[in-house]
């Protein structure tokens, strides 16, 4: 018999018999409701049976007396013995244990509320989720995100302070979806001690009136950030898009910073780097503008096909089958106005469908009116061949976020060569080719020197490739002047490195000689190794005639290795004993970023600035900086 207050299961009035009560028998209590304090009510239902208040177990359906006098002790006693309740409890423990094991948590796991909140903040930062996705207050989310940002910033600061290398600064301008605010994004590219090229974003600061930008304000922002991160004396170069205000700011940097800090050997020669991807972007958009009316016709043609009747589309599909294009172009899309790559790909598709469009003209006069003429198609083909080289160059630069500087020069030469071929085409296109060539020369005038020097420091190409390229593109006479200027610049840079590195070596050597006896080292009986004597002789000759090291590299055998995965930084690291000064110069120059797009996904944008995630619209600039910088520091999620 159960304890006091328990109803016998055999009672005929209850009709339990291991069956659940039907809803017709269980009527909610009409008595005054009170708050159920005891946790036992999580496992019991309050019902009225035959006019009496009862408590029914949710697990086994047994009924018990329920009143203020009887209390809940008898209900707790039942739960401790109820087999059905024990099964549920055991299953729940197994589920919890399994979940903890999958999460990598041991049996002694203790929930940490602060760590849990920070994990949620990291998730929001990394994946770009809206700040109100969790139930706790917006302000708490704000505070958690700033906390994560500060912790990650401190980690990055400590990491950068341990590096012995100097840094290359990347500046890129971003804007929000409404374009009301403009932000200056600053990042570093540097060569880690293990000869690994890395890039780290530093900050995202709001600037005022980008079109009439206050140079003093921007200069002050960048300068204070460099000092905050303690890298102002380690700055080697600045890479940013070419514009008047940017050029003024960089000149101000050179005049204000480097006269009172350690002047790097590259300063004055290769300090200001113009973003090459933005230059190619402009060239490609200029090329698309040259055939803008043709693109409008192609766009209208595609829209007409997509909106045509079912019968018309059946005719289109039939024509596609005749040319075996039904799988590739069963549906065709218009371009996106803010993505020039979509306009290029639309042009590429239309050129492949040119014959299909021509056959469709016979059945529809309206289609004839909007479809490009034969002459317009021919012009589109000519421009496409030029744009294809630009597009391939951008794609090759976008494949990796950290490219060495030597990879750009061959692509630029290919673009130049395609323009020369365009100038040799029929007279109809000569004016267009001349305009495009003028823009090419204007854009690349400022950066061709650093591109050429970088490829000279590629042991697979050296000066021979640069000489071959300029003579082929410009003719021997004009190429001679260009090559002389490049070689003189290379010599000047090398001489600066000799002053910085060679004099240090000479100073160290004089100290060693002062502490040794008067006999040359090769007469020392403890050092009779011929190989050591040879290395010492090479070092003395290098000190006596520093330029000999550069001449020896340039005159040496060119490496026969066309492998795209050739580790050029590793090669220079392995040959640092043979070329101590040239090697250091090569590593510095090869590590210079030639593009600002590596810190964003704006390679194909027609907009002049990178767009910030629309989710961040309306947020305070401080939290936007924390979200974007934190996303890069935590590691951006992999795109599937």
**Is the predicted pLDDT of residue 25 greater than 50, yes or no?**
no
pLDDT of residue 345: 92
The answer to whether 120 and 130 are in contact (CB under 8 A) is: no
578 backbone φψ class: left, alpha, beta (φ>0; ψ -120 to 50): alpha
Total domains in the fold of the chain = 3
**Is the predicted pLDDT of residue 11 greater than 50, yes or no?**
no
- Mean pLDDT of all residues in 527-540: 60
Q: Give the C-alpha separation, 81 to 77, whole Å.
A: 7
Does any domain span residue 346? yes
The answer to whether 311 and 319 are in contact (CB under 8 A) is: no
Tell me the torsion sign for CA atoms 65, 68, 74, 76. Answer: positive
Same-domain status, 270 and 312:
no
Q: Higher confidence at residue 32 or residue 153?
A: 153
Confidence class of residue 405 from pLDDT cuts 50, 70 and 90? very high
The least confident of 126-140, 473-487, 614-628 is 126-140
Q: Give the C-alpha separation, 450 to 405, whole Å.
A: 8
**Is the predicted pLDDT of residue 240 greater than 90, yes or no?**
no
Residue 256: helix, strand or coil by DSSP? helix
> Which of residues 447, 477, 504 is at a domain's end?
447
Confidence class of residue 229 from pLDDT cuts 50, 70 and 90? very high
Same-domain status, 242 and 166:
yes
Same-domain status, 317 and 442:
yes
Displacement of CA 161 from its chain's centroid (Å) = 23
Same-domain status, 271 and 283:
no
- DSSP conformation class of 574: H
Displacement of CA 589 from its chain's centroid (Å) = 22
Does any domain span residue 533? no
pLDDT of residue 553: 96
Same-domain status, 362 and 386:
yes
Same-domain status, 285 and 271:
no
Does any domain span residue 613? yes
Same-domain status, 256 and 286:
no
Same-domain status, 255 and 327:
no
> Which range has highest mean pLDDT (121-130, 473-482, 625-634)?
473-482
Same-domain status, 303 and 438:
yes
Tokens at 43, concatenated: 């496992």
- Mean pLDDT of all residues in 31-57: 76
- Mean pLDDT of all residues in 106-131: 56
Q: Higher confidence at residue 154 or residue 514?
A: 154
The answer to whether 612 and 176 are in contact (CB under 8 A) is: yes
**Is the predicted pLDDT of residue 339 greater than 60, yes or no?**
yes
Confidence class of residue 104 from pLDDT cuts 50, 70 and 90? very low
Other beta carbons within 10 angstroms of residue 57's beta carbon come to: 18
**Is the predicted pLDDT of residue 112 greater than 60, yes or no?**
no
Predicted TM-score (pTM) of this structure: 0.71
Confidence class of residue 298 from pLDDT cuts 50, 70 and 90? very high
Average pLDDT value over all residues in the chain: 77
> Which of residues 411, 432, 447 is at a domain's end?
447
Does any domain span residue 569? no
> Comparing C-alpha atoms, which of 134, 106, 103, 104 is closest to residue 121?
134
Length of the chain: 640
- Mean pLDDT of all residues in 74-91: 72
Confidence class of residue 593 from pLDDT cuts 50, 70 and 90? very high
Tokens at 376, concatenated: 């317009």
> Comparing C-alpha atoms, which of 350, 339, 412 is closest to residue 381?
350
- The strand pairing partners of 206, in sequence order, are 183
The answer to whether 433 and 422 are in contact (CB under 8 A) is: yes
Q: Give the C-alpha separation, 386 to 139, whole Å.
A: 53
Buried b (16+ CB within 10 A) or exposed e, 352-388: ebeebbeebeeeeeebeebbbeeeebebbebbbebbe
* Portion of the chain with pLDDT greater than 70, in percent: 70
Phi then psi dihedrals of residue 313, to 5 deg: -65, -35
**Is the predicted pLDDT of residue 261 greater than 70, yes or no?**
no
Q: Higher confidence at residue 129 or residue 387?
A: 387
Does any domain span residue 124? no
> Which of residues 408, 429, 447 is at a domain's end?
447
Same-domain status, 286 and 408:
yes
Domain that holds residue 62: 1-105
Q: Higher confidence at residue 178 or residue 555?
A: 555
pLDDT of residue 118: 63
pLDDT of residue 135: 43
Does any domain span residue 252? yes
324 backbone φψ class: left, alpha, beta (φ>0; ψ -120 to 50): left
Does any domain span residue 461? no
**Is the predicted pLDDT of residue 521 greater than 50, yes or no?**
no
Q: Give the C-alpha separation, 180 to 611, whole Å.
A: 12
Same-domain status, 270 and 286:
no
The least confident of 221-225, 251-255, 257-261, 426-430 is 257-261
pLDDT of residue 507: 46
pLDDT of residue 121: 63
Which CATH number do you get for residue 198? 3.30.420
- Mean pLDDT of all residues in 2-8: 37
Does any domain span residue 329? yes
pLDDT of residue 480: 93
Same-domain status, 330 and 421:
yes
């Amino acid at each position: 018999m159960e304890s006091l207050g328990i109803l016998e299961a055999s009672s005929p009035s209850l009709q339990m018999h291991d069956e659940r009560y039907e809803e017709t028998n269980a009527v909610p209590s009409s008595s005054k409701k009170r708050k159920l304090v005891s946790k036992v009510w999580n496992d019991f239902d309050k019902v009225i049976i035959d006019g009496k208040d009862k408590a029914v177990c949710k697990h086994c359906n047994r009924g018990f007396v329920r009143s203020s006098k009887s209390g809940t002790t008898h209900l707790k006693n039942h739960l401790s013995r109820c087999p059905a309740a024990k099964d549920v409890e055991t299953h729940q423990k197994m589920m919890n244990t399994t979940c903890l094991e999958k999460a990598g948590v041991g049996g002694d796991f203790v929930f940490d509320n602060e760590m849990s909140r920070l994990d949620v903040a990291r998730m929001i930062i990394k994946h770009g989720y809206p700040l109100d996705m969790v139930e706790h207050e917006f302000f708490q989310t704000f505070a958690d995100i700033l906390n994560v940002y500060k912790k990650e910033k401190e980690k990055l600061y400590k990491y950068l302070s341990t590096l012995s290398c100097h840094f290359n600064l990347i500046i890129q301008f971003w804007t929000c979806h409404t374009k009301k605010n403009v932000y200056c994004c600053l990042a570093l590219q540097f060569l880690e001690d293990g000869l690994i090229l890395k890039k780290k974003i530093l900050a995202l600061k709001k600037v005022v009136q980008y079109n009439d930008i206050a140079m003093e304000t921007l200069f002050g922002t960048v300068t204070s950030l460099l000092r905050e991160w303690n890298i102002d004396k380690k700055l080697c170069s600045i890479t940013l898009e070419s514009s008047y205000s940017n050029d003024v700011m960089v000149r101000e940097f050179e005049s204000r910073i480097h006269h009172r800090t350690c002047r790097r050997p590259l300063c004055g020669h290769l300090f200001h780097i113009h973003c090459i991807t933005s230059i190619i972007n402009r060239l490609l958009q200029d090329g698309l503008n040259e055939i803008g009316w043709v693109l409008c016709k192609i766009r209208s043609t595609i829209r007409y096909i997509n909106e045509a009747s079912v019968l018309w589309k059946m005719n289109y599909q039939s024509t596609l089958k005749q040319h075996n294009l039904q799988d590739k172009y069963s549906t065709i899309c218009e371009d996106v106005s803010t993505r020039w790559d979509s306009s290029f790909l639309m042009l590429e598709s239309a050129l492949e469908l040119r014959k299909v469009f021509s056959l469709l003209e016979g059945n529809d006069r309206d289609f004839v009116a909007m479809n490009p003429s034969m002459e317009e198609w021919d012009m589109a083909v000519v421009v496409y061949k030029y744009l294809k080289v630009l597009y391939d160059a951008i794609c090759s630069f976008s494949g990796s976020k950290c490219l060495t500087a030597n990879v750009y020069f061959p692509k630029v030469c290919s673009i130049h060569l395609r323009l020369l071929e365009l100038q040799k085409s029929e007279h109809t296109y000569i004016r267009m080719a001349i305009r495009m060539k003028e823009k090419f020369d204007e854009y690349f005038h400022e950066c061709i020197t650093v591109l050429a020097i970088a490829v000279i420091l590629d042991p697979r190409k050296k000066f021979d490739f640069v000489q071959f390229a300029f003579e082929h593109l410009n003719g021997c006479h004009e190429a001679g002047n260009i090559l002389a200027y490049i070689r003189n610049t290379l010599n000047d840079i090398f001489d600066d490195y000799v002053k910085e590195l060679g004099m240090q070596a000479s100073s160290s050597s004089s100290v060693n000689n002062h502490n040794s006896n008067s006999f040359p080292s090769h007469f020392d009986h403890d050092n009779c190794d011929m190989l050591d004597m040879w290395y010492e002789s090479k070092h003395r000759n290098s000190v006596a005639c520093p330029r000999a090291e550069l001449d020896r590299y340039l005159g040496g055998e060119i490496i026969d290795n066309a492998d795209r995965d050739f580790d050029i930084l590793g090669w220079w690291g392995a040959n640092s004993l043979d070329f101590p000064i040239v090697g250091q110069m090569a590593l510095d120059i090869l590590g210079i970023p030639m593009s600002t797009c590596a810190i964003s996904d704006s390679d194909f944008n027609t907009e002049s600035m990178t767009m910030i995630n629309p989710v961040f619209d309306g947020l305070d600039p401080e939290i936007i900086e924390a979200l974007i910088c934190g996303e890069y520091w935590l590691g951006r999620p992999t795109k599937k």
